Amino acid sequence: MPYYKHFIFALISTVGFSILFNVPKRSIFYAGLTGGIGWTVYMYIKALTLSSSFSIFLASIIVGVLGEIFARIDKKPVTTFVIPGIVPLVPGYTMYLSMVNLINQEFYTAVKLGTEAVFTSGAISVGIIIVTSVAKIIKIKKDPNIKAKELSQES
Amino acid sequence: MTENKKKSILRIALYAGEIMLKNGAETYRTEDTINIMCRSKELKHVNSFVTPTGIFISDDRLDGISFIKRIKSRTINLSKISDVNNFARKFIKDDISEMDALLELRRIDKKGKYEKYTRTFFTGLASAFFSLLFGAGLTDFILAFLISMVAIRVNWKIERLSNTSFLAKATSGALISFLALISKSIGFGESIDMIIVGSIMPLVPGVALTNGLRDFISGDLIAGATRVAEAVLIAISIAVGVGTILKLWVHLFGGVF
């Protein structure tokens, strides 16, 4: 499947999830863009490096950065864009499969898939947290007068 | 500062925190919002302790007052989080009376979601396009669209009636696999896996697991443990629903795969 198709499908899918998550009307397009770009980057890097966790990690950094940018543009908290943005990357299906295998007493597959799910969501969380922390540091550097504590409000 | 003044600030901060937490805000964001709101009104010694199932706020001076709020259910509603965020900023800057602040928060709390049919339609769209991302064909795309809409409606209905999400998730999981099997056996669907991948997407706890790990990494260990446990429980309940139907089907009609 060509990358532009991946981008369009992921974008529409993310827009659908944004409605489910009740994202404010004006921000829906930005949220969809975040998800679409995140997924396309993931597919591209996965084809290059063949490592799933690493490409998820890079993609979620991109999602985090886009979230920060759109939050500045749209004056909304970063969560509004990051939560829909990570939906295509998140290992919900893997986790479900792991539990199905557990119930069917296929313990080896269950543990394998479960570990994969934890690794994937760990990579996403680390990626997002890195971006949030760096954004906070940049903000303090720019304006040393504000206390670090008060910043976290806006991020 | 009088005790009543203190109490009213704590009450407003608690209500703001409650709305944020109920609608899926991260733990650290909720704690920060509560602390900043209190600090901006000269309440310097406030501690807040937030877990996904409850909020504790206390002023640790001698006349310390504490407030506790139990949180029973959590969904994701990002527009309310954004509204509370704006409210908190306004509250910090301006002098808002207790009554006005509580009324404003109540307005945010009661705010509706998108129209029910809009949400159903877009859930179907999200699921259908998700199955395309996994490489489904056209018939599976249509089936995922239809089945996920039915499943999410059933999920909402049962969630409203019963306060544990186990039953709702298990039933919708069972319904998804049942409909997928039926459509396959009448010769319409191509691959059961693809239909299930798409339709199950709005139910699976991927975001919950990721948020749990985010809490773990930022040091909110209790919140992280709670969220991860919740995610595992949801995954188990869907698997129970889907698995039961698949097993029954194989027993009754033999394999259709």
pLDDT of res. B255: 65
ipTM score here? Answer: 0.86
Q: What was the pLDDT predicted at A59?
A: 93
Are B16 and B66 in a shared domain? yes
A110-121 residue pLDDT tens: 999 999 988 999
Q: What's the pLDDT at A74? A: 85
Q: Indicate if B30 and B122 belong to the same structural domain.
A: no
Q: Report pLDDT for A146.
A: 60
Same domain, yes or no: B187 and B71: no
Mean pLDDT, range A82-103, rounded to an integer: 88
Digit-coded pLDDT (tens) for B55-100: 999 887 757 788 899 988 888 888 999 999 889 888 888 888 888 8
Assess whether B137 and B240 both reside in one domain: yes
Which residues does chain B have within 8 Å of residue A87's beta carbon, measured at their own beta carbons? 206-207
b/e sequence A109-144, b meaning 16+ C-beta within 10 Å? ebeebbebbbbbbbbbbbbbbbbbeebeeeeeeeee
- Total domains present in chain B: 2
What's the pLDDT at A155?
Answer: 42
**CA separation (Å) from B107 to A26, B68, B73, B80, B119?**
20, 22, 19, 10, 22
* B14 and B124 assigned to the same domain: no
Quick: pLDDT tens for A29-64. 999 999 999 999 999 999 998 888 899 999 999 999
Half-sphere exposure of A42 (CA within 13 A, CB side): 28
A54 touches chain B (CB under 8 A): no
Using a CB-CB distance cutoff of 8 angstroms, which residues of chain B are in contact with residue A95? 204-206, 209, 231-232, 235
Q: Which domain holds residue A40?
A: 3-151
Q: Across the interface, do B201 and A93 touch by the CB < 8 Å criterion?
A: yes
Give the residue from B89, B110, B131 where a domain finishes.
B110
The domain of B122 spans 116-253
Residues B168 and B68 in one domain: no
Same domain, B159 and B80: no
Q: Cβ separation of B126 and A22 shorter than 8 Å?
A: no
Domain end, chosen from B60, B84, B110, is at B110
Quick one: B69 and B38 in the same domain?
yes
Is-contact A153 B89, C-beta < 8 A? Answer: yes
Q: Calculate the CA dihedral of residues B197, B201, B205, B209 and round it to 10 degrees.
A: 80
* pLDDT the model gives residue B153: 92
Residues B99 and B180 in one domain: no
Nearest to B217 among A10, A95, A129 (CB): A129
Give the CA distances from residue B88 to residues A73, B47, B67, in Å, rounded to whole numbers and listed in that order: 20, 17, 19
Residue B168 sits in the same domain as residue B73: no
Residue A154 banded pLDDT, cuts 50, 70, 90: very low
Does B239 contact A at CB distance below 8 Å? Answer: yes
Are residues B152 and B92 located together in one domain of the fold? no
**Which residue is associated with the tokens 């207790």?**
B98
pLDDT beneath 70: ranges in chain B: 1, 62, 255-257
- Hey, which residues does B55 pair with through a beta bridge? B50, B69
Phi/psi of residue B77, nearest 5 degrees: -140, 90
Counting the structural domains of chain A, the total is 1
Picking from B63, B90, B110, the residue at the C-terminal end of a domain is B110
What pLDDT, on a 0 to 100 scale, did the predictor assign at position A124? 92
User: Residue A44 belongs to what H/E stretch?
Assistant: helix A28-49
